[in-house]
Structure 1
């Protein structure tokens, strides 16, 4: 058995050591999967390490969109909880917070409200509107084509971020947009198993952990932080027995090539962001036209460039997905270390092990890996959620009436 004294480890790995200790005392008749479930059920979420102090931010509901974007960018995070400034000091957490706002929610709301026509062409507004609204008719599909997209310049985004709409609108004014899913939080005493199931089977991007006594969010556990925790557990018995299995042994990849949501290189990049929002996914591949190879990846994380670095489009007469990748790569080369490079296509093959995959995801700080064959053709997709879903399973009747008290979507939610 590994002890803390014998093996000094990171705060994340200390959770793994607790699993190791629990693993050794589980009933012998339990299968490895049942053992893991039992171990994680015995550990409270309060044991999960707190985020770095520079990421512990809350956004007040009367903050403007411009200020909110600046705060998110400065702290290099994609989302933050929103505090209702009108809530009384002794309010419970459910009355204190109105949700979690994201870069993506801000972008989608702005594009819903503001669809200006580029001075270069009267048709550019159609491309933007189509990308935002997800129009499907034959005529409107034509508006999403290359000809319309090429007429939209970076001036659109520069005008957008300098508009009074963007500068004066408060975060609380767009709550119907960023609250596109129920707002749910865990108590400190809830189990790790509950948290892992919410991040995997129940498709939550992050799980707030609240201190009921203080009525405040104490921690926000993300899929990425769980993957980092798992990567820090390499070498522990329980992790090695699970992590050395090949992808096919645990049923990965779950998403087959024909089910991967994608965009083609000559489609507008706004279509990619709209698809991610509509399908509630974190990213998608950019495919070569007429082939089965991907040339890059567009992530929700890249939405930040529309608002924080609109100048990357200044010299471009088109904003196709391919040109977006080129522009972002060029921008990141000039600002090395400032932003994470999420547009690169990270791949693995089917012979990869779970351990190798987790270490790859953690090292690259990405949320998805594309499975390819020896010729680079797309064979599947694996996300952080897929990996977590293979770590634990939901016992029958596990949640019971757990969701009864969840704060539902507001009636004015549009996305």
Structure 2
């Protein structure tokens, strides 16, 4: 006798999937699958979402140094963490207790400005070619998500020279000096926290719905969402895009999931971007160019290509900036760190330290005729945030991210958030909300 998909369900994520299944079964038959899923997720509170395996929320104090923040993020292999205001009283509400999010992306933009400011002074022969002042760090913290790429790219310093070129020529020595400097070790997380637009602490209440959560993680580009208990005034859980995709992977075999997940990527309009729209970096370009593009365009990773620009040889993600800060041996032999050298050095480092990482398993790809279920399984198994779509000749055709997956799960009902996001966080492209 064939085992029922409901048999043997044990994980919290799978049990949550069964709850969606029960809600799916009682939906009006005339509703479309999309409407059914929206209705199901609108009926489930975020308090039902399973906590992280460690059941521990990692927080960073506002008086922690950047060095301490990087070490903590690296140790727990996370991209961001809520910042706790050490000056807030013990009985403060969560609004006063947490003042933002510190993330690798934010630290990366700080580093880019530091690198280029130092490089410009160095190339112009300034006697003060060291690290910039604490006042400059305050200016850096005002950079927003809307900062255009050419504003980040640096200022010309002479004929044929630019900020990026100068910083590329001294990356290794710069990072070596930076990570050993008192400036880096003494600059506080609270000093570089940007505006609400730059690093929003956008929390969910336990009574908010899955639909709200999924829309924030997809359409509104949030990477993670703290869940707060109003009574306790503290963070109960942090829900990430990765955790949602893991939940979906645990629901394979359930009717509601199969109705949605059995469709091919091309049938769902994935990948969204055309090949000529995809941001990428060539293997011989400075690795900092990859981090600049990621921050300027608000993306978490970028493919490294060779040849005609369509052959993928690797992926650099924003989290990889940690290697420039915590593993100086990576750049000791590469004073000018190209994207290809960076990947080679990271792989060597991971092998020597016996660390498991998707970087050791080569470039992970799929085809347009793969199903959404196949891609979800691969993303979850490999613990990656994006997968590259290639054609039969292995030419790059696009990328599919965790956000893309979630965005195909739900849609925003008209007027769902009202004017909540006006002037708070950047609206998605083509959004009328």
Give your verdict on TM over 0.5.
yes
- Equivalent residue in structure 2 for 1:229, among 247, 258, 263: 247
Gaps of 5+ in 1: 409-415
Secondary structure of 2:194's partner? helix
Which digits, 9 at most, give the CA deviation of each residue in 1:272-299, with x for residues without a partner? 1011111110001112153421221110
1:346 aligns with 2:364: yes
Note the C-alpha offset of 1:53.
Answer: 2.5
Note the C-alpha offset of 1:183.
Answer: 2.6
1:19 aligns with 2:37: no
Return 287-296 or 8-17, whichever deviates more: 287-296
Note the C-alpha offset of 1:135.
Answer: 4.1
Check 1:291–1:76 CA distance in 2 against 1; reply closer, same or farther (3 A cut). Answer: closer
For residues 407 and 133 of structure 1, what CA distance do their matches in structure 2 show? 20
Check 1:182–1:88 CA distance in 2 against 1; reply closer, same or farther (3 A cut). Answer: same
Return 399-408 or 156-165, whichever deviates more: 399-408
Counterpart contact for 1:297–1:343, Cα < 8 Å: no
- Equivalent residue in structure 2 for 1:247, among 265, 284, 300: 265
Q: Which residue pairs with 2:118 in the alignment?
A: 116
For residues 36 and 30 of structure 1, what CA distance do their matches in structure 2 show? 10
TM-score after normalising by structure 1: 0.88
For residues 159 and 284 of structure 2, what CA distance do their matches in structure 1 show? 16
Secondary structure of 2:91's partner? coil
1:175 aligns with 2:193: yes
Return 55-64 or 337-346, whichever deviates more: 337-346
Counterpart contact for 2:171–2:337, Cα < 8 Å: yes
Check 1:61–1:346 CA distance in 2 against 1; reply closer, same or farther (3 A cut). Answer: same
Note the C-alpha offset of 1:339.
Answer: 5.0
Q: Which residue pairs with 2:85 in the alignment?
A: 84
TM-score after normalising by structure 2: 0.85
For residues 306 and 96 of structure 2, what CA distance do their matches in structure 1 show? 48
1:278 aligns with 2:296: yes
Check 1:19–1:314 CA distance in 2 against 1; reply closer, same or farther (3 A cut). Answer: same
For residues 18 and 181 of structure 2, what CA distance do their matches in structure 1 show? 52
Q: How many residues align?
A: 403
Counterpart contact for 1:110–1:166, Cα < 8 Å: no
For residues 340 and 213 of structure 1, what CA distance do their matches in structure 2 show? 40
Q: Which residue pairs with 1:394 in the alignment?
A: 412
1:269 aligns with 2:287: yes
Note the C-alpha offset of 1:267.
Answer: 1.4
Return 191-200 or 208-217, whichever deviates more: 208-217
Which digits, 9 at most, give the CA deviation of each residue in 1:124-158, with x for residues without a partner? x9xxxx9992248797985478x857743533212
Return 252-261 or 149-158, whichever deviates more: 149-158
The alignment yields a C-alpha RMSD, in angstroms, of 3.1
Gaps of 5+ in 2: 130-148, 427-433
Return 147-156 or 60-69, whichever deviates more: 147-156
